[in-house]
Amino acid sequence: MSADYFAPYDTIRFEGPDSANDLVYRWYDKDRVVLGKRMEDHLRVAVCFWHTFCWPGSDVFGAGTFARPWHTGANDAAAAMAKREAALAFVEKLDVPFYCFHDVDVMADAESIGDFRKSFAEAVDHLEALQARHGRKLLWGTANLFGHPRYMAGAATNANPEVFAWAASQVRDALEATHRLRGANYVLWGGREGYDTILNTEVGIELENFGRFLSMVVEHKHKIGFPGTILIEPKPHEPTKHQYDFDTQTVYGFLKRFGLESEVRVNIEANHATLGGHTFEHEIAMARALGIFGSIDANRGDHQNGWDTDQFPNSVEELTLAMLEIIRAGGFTTGGFNFDAKVRRQSIDAEDLFHGHIGGIDTIAHALIKAEAIINDGKVDAFRSERYAGWNGELGQAIHAADATLASVADLAVSRSLHPKPRSGRQEWLENMINRF
């Protein structure tokens, strides 16, 4: 039944912005060459398991509303298999290359550690066959270290070392599964790696344990020969009051402390950026500057809500600004755009899943085209280059010379009687330039 759930729908194809059809792409033309590369290769689009196939449409005030064939009430082996089959069929219908999952997304429920490993192993066997059948690939895998009650106080940062050890078992198996399924990345999202009150928390112990855990993950990656990238996904809060992976800069400081800055990159989520008081493009620009840009979870929040609403992106302007930073970072290597987004609780039909993903994919494709136009026009980048040109001149080079000191630079200012004049940052002109596109 689940394999037939999407059978009434044709594969989604590109028809252009003037198409009268709803279930087509207007901007996502996967073979279109943008800045020397196919659009599909630029964007590397992925569908997530958790929101799209696992979430039943529930919220804190009410039960699930979706009633899809695999939402049988019990996540047993039959339901998990049906969910996996439906998921890969849907990804093929969208004609995008990738999907992503947490371990518990794809397996039947299990309580003991032995049953958990057995159930997950069966799921991985099935996923390997489904990938071959549908011609899809894994962008990244991960382990859910936040949903089960054992993780109510975190996983790597838990006060109980038994929880740390259980989490290590999950991550070991999920990382090895990602390697077997030829996944491009492995993500660690510390959903509860933080605290709700400082009254019961030893922050120093928790940070040390978090660093130890991540170091073990990196060590195991090399031990098994996994060629992909290890990613951390920053988030400031929710569900905890404060999370240790608050934003990109915080993550970089953490990585630097434990000597992992060359081993781990960030998976940046738009809605997490805004929860931290940043813009999406700020987080990408910061990752680019720090050399840890990895991958993207594409979604958006609601400006009237203070929590992670995980809605599909629909602002070409916001995504264009983000896309400019991605291009300036050199684009994706192993990363891509994963739609960590969910249809609304009242969007109960199979068709709604298509509309949500088509809209999100078209938004990022449209943004890529606009970013290309801005880059080819050159005016914005030319102004940025001119604004910082002094650092390539004699004084700028002298400041960065290996033998420069605070005193030597100060003496230069005195000897040359420097009298720097303020120069306009031309923000309004730049904003007008962007809006023209």
> What is the distance between the alpha carbons of residues 211 and 197, in angstroms, rounded to a whole number?
21
DSSP 27-77: S--TT-EETTEEHHHHH-EEEEHIIIII--S-BTTB------TT--SS--H
- The structure tokens listed for 119 are 């159930």
By CB neighbour count within 10 A (0-12 exposed, 13-18 middle, 19+ buried), where does 310 fall? buried
The DSSP symbol for 25 reads: B
- CB-based contact 221:175 (threshold 8 Å): yes
- CB-based contact 263:304 (threshold 8 Å): no
- The structure tokens listed for 378 are 């050159």
- CB-based contact 169:114 (threshold 8 Å): no
Q: How far is CA 30 from the centre of its chain?
A: 21
Q: Choose, from 42, 102, 282, 366, the residue flagged as catalytic.
A: 102
> What is the distance between the alpha carbons of residues 255 and 244, in angstroms, rounded to a whole number?
12
Which is nearest to 140 in space by CA: 90, 166, 103, 87?
A: 103
Give catalytic status of residue 125 as yes or no.
Answer: no
Q: Choose, from 29, 103, 105, 362, the residue flagged as catalytic.
A: 105
Give catalytic status of residue 105 as yes or no.
Answer: yes
Catalytic positions, please? 102, 105
